[in-house]
Amino acid sequence: MSESLFFSTTLWFSILRGLQITILLTVLSMAFGLILGTALALVRVYGSALASSVAATYIFVFRGIPLLILLYFLYYGAPQISFLRTGLLWDVLFSSAFGTCILAFSLNNAAYLAEAVRGGILTVKKGQIEAGFAIGLTTRKVISRITLPIAMRNCLSQIGNETIFTIKASSIASIVTVRDLLGQAQYVGNIYYDNITPLLAAAILYLVLVQIVERLIRWADRALKPAPLAGAKGKRPNQLQVVS
Amino acid sequence: MHATLPFLPYIVGGLAVTILASLVTFACAVAIGLAATLWMTTGHPAAGPIVRAYVAIFRSLPELLCIFLVYYGCEIALQKAAVSFGFRPIPISPFLAVTVAIGVQFGAYSVQIFSDAHRSINPGLFEAAHALGLSPRKVTTRVAIPLILQAAIPGLSNLFSVMLKVSALASVIGLEEVTRRAKIVAGSTREPFAAYAVAVVCFLVIAAAAALLQARLERSFRSTREA
């Protein structure tokens, strides 16, 4: 630990560049993960028995594999298959470490988010869905306009937890040479022959980032909470209630 | 694929290291979590802020960063000690570094699990124990700890299955568990696809076993509670 390095602008500038990559990894993989995860959750709840079990298998597999092994498998193992080495898939995803990381994190996030969204769907009150049908909406419209928005609001805190997990897990990208926050810290550490100081600086940034995200989620959770209905005597109308 | 087959027992053998590392780390995390929770319940004025700060810090640090901090930190500390006391620097065991780093980090999660468990217990049970004339120490060891552990089982088994997966990170500092062995085999046979596929299957088998075990544990405890 050296103070002169800790207070140097070089260190902080390069680590801040790493922070950008970490944020980019998190945002992109959360977005793709949320899209795929929502689709999986819908299939799991509304799909046929076969489709539902396929989705369940996907969720089991990608929740069971450690992220590091998934990343190794996609980054080192997948290019062995020859058709993956041609065309758009190779150019966009498998040829770069960053693209492979996005793919691995998104696949992993999708499995966890599918479970969260499914939980959210199951807590939507039956009466709200029936009300949708009663005013003449089609099944598709009921799902897209009523079930999904309420389900998303119900599982917002879990999506938030998942975001924090992704921020932390994205540090694994540094192992396959992506210069994210941790990777950049190690890079600086190698240049200055000082492993500890850049790591401590990176730790501070991770702490700040996670605290900010935590605050944001708590704020969003409060802001989106529906106002109590007139007849509900101040009780939240959206109490957790499993409707299966 | 054919080149990887002879190495199959080698990779699968890494499971023993993975499981052992996870168990030791888990014990470490549970001990830290239980101690911190019990300290909080004594009502010591410093306990609350210190434990809360510990949880906030270690919940937001990436596991990999923690492992590197402990590993490099111990290395530097040992080197300095070796220079000043004049002994040959000892290499640090990756197993020990991982146990300390992940144990301390997951201690933060287990504090949360245990304090939730403690809150879910009817305070009348503690009062009853006091009324029976048990000493405060006996109330803790005979009443509080068993009840907390029992209430914490679902949370703890989730934590353990997360730990099994996190233990793959230990390969980065050279612990020879499944991931590391798969990497070595991938390098020597030039068949990364097959080697990592074996590692994937290994972890899926563990995940399935852990899920079965968890379901059985929860069922048996639920039945003893209802009885």
Closest Cα in chain A, distance from residue B56 (Å) = 8
Q: Which domains does chain A have, with CATH numbers?
A: 3-225 (1.10.3720.10)
pLDDT of residue A23: 95
Instruction: Tell me whether residue B35 is in a domain.
Output: yes
Q: Which residue of A has its CA nearest to B201?
A: A65
Q: How far apart are CA A30 and CA A124, in angstroms?
A: 23
Confidence at residue A242, expressed as pLDDT on a 0 to 100 scale: 45
Collapsed DSSP state (helix, strand, coil) of residue B88: coil
Burial label, B87 (beta-carbon count in 10 A; 0-12, 13-18, 19+): exposed
Tokens of A235: 């009780």
Rounded to the nearest integer, the mean pLDDT of chain A is 88
How many C-beta atoms lie closer than 10 Å to residue A98's C-beta? Answer: 19
pLDDT exceeds cutoff 60 at A219: yes
A229 pLDDT band, cuts 50/70/90, is low
Rg (CA), chain B: 21
Report chain B residues whose CB lies below 8 A from the CB of A107: none
Q: Which residues of A touch B63 (CB under 8 A)?
A: 168, 171
B106 domain residue, yes or no: yes
The Cα of A233 is separated from the nearest Cα of chain B by a number of Å equal to 27
Looking at beta carbons, which residues of chain B come within 8 Å of A210? 59-60
Question: Is B143 within the bounds of a domain?
Answer: yes
Tokens of residue A24, six digits = 């980019």
Instruction: Give the pLDDT mean for A85-107.
Output: 85
Q: What is the pLDDT of residue A241?
A: 45
Domain at B113, CATH number: 1.10.3720.10
Q: Cα(first)–Cα(last) distance of chain A, in Å?
A: 56
Residues of chain B with pLDDT under 70: 1, 223-227
- Within a 13 Å sphere around the CA of A169, how many CA atoms are in the beta-carbon half? 27
State whether residue A19 is helix, strand or coil: helix
Torsion of CA B11, B12, B16, B22, to 10 degrees: 80
Q: Over 60: is that where the pLDDT of A233 sits?
A: no
C-beta atoms of A69 and B203 within 8 A = yes
Name the residue range of residue B28's domain: 11-175
Find out whether A41 and A121 touch, Cβ atoms under 8 Å.
yes
Q: How many C-beta neighbours within 10 Å does residue B223 have?
A: 9
CA quadruple A186, A188, A191, A196: dihedral sign: negative
Residue B227 within a domain: no
Residues of A in contact with B179 (CB under 8 A): 66, 68-69, 72
- Given a cut of 60, whether residue A240 has pLDDT beyond it is no
ipTM: 0.87
User: CA B143: distance to chain centroid?
Assistant: 25
Cα dihedral B188→B189→B194→B197 (10° resolution): -10
DSSP string, A158-213: HHHHHHHHHHHHGGGGGGGT--SHHHHHHHHHHHHT-SHHHHHHHHHHHHHHHHHH
Q: Which amino acid is at A173?
A: A
Q: Are B172 and B67 in contact (CB under 8 A)?
A: yes
Facing B204 at nearest CB: one of A61, A78, A206: A61
Mutation target among A19, A22, A76, A182 for the B interface, most CBs of B within 10 A: A76
Model pLDDT for residues A66-91, shown as the tens digit of each residue: 999 999 999 998 888 877 777 777 77
Report the residue count for chain B: 227
Q: What is the pLDDT of residue B140?
A: 87
Which pLDDT belongs to residue A230? 57
Asked whether the predicted pLDDT for residue A1 surpasses 70, the reply is no
Residue B55 lies in a domain: yes
Answer whether residue A231 shows pLDDT above 60: no
Which pLDDT belongs to residue A77? 87
Closest CA to A198 of A27, A63, A17, A41: A17
Q: What's residue B180's pLDDT?
A: 92
**Least confident range of A38-42, A194-198, A231-235, B49-53:** A231-235
Q: What is the pLDDT of residues A180-205, one digit of tens each?
A: 999 999 999 998 888 888 999 999 99
Q: What pLDDT is stored for residue B43 in this prediction?
A: 80
Question: Nearest C-alpha of chain A: how many angstroms from B171?
Answer: 10
How far apart are the C-alpha atoms of A146 and B218, rounded to whole Å? 35
User: Distance (Å, rounded) from C-alpha A210 to C-alpha A181?
Assistant: 13
Q: Give the HSE-up count for residue A187: Cα atoms under 13 Å, Cβ half-sphere.
A: 20
Are B33 and B223 in contact by the 8 Å Cβ rule? The answer is no
Provide, rounded to the nearest whole percent, the portion of chain A with pLDDT above 90.
64
Interface test with A, best of B98, B196, B198, B202 (most A CBs within 10 A): B196
Number of domains in chain B: 1
Nearest-by-Cβ selection for A172 from B64, B207, B208: B64
Question: In this structure, are residues A176 and A100 in contact, taking their beta carbons and an 8 Å threshold?
Answer: yes
**Cβ contact (<8 Å) for A199 and B172?**
no
| pLDDT grade for A209, boundaries at 50, 70 and 90 | very high
Q: State the pLDDT at residue B46.
A: 87
- Could you tell me if residue B100 is inside a domain? yes
| Residue B23: predicted pLDDT | 93
pLDDT for the residue numbered B27: 95
Whether B88 is in a domain gets the answer yes
- Round to whole Å and give the CA distance between B143 and B122: 12
Q: Is residue B28 part of a domain?
A: yes
Cα separation, A244 vs B151, in Å, equals 26
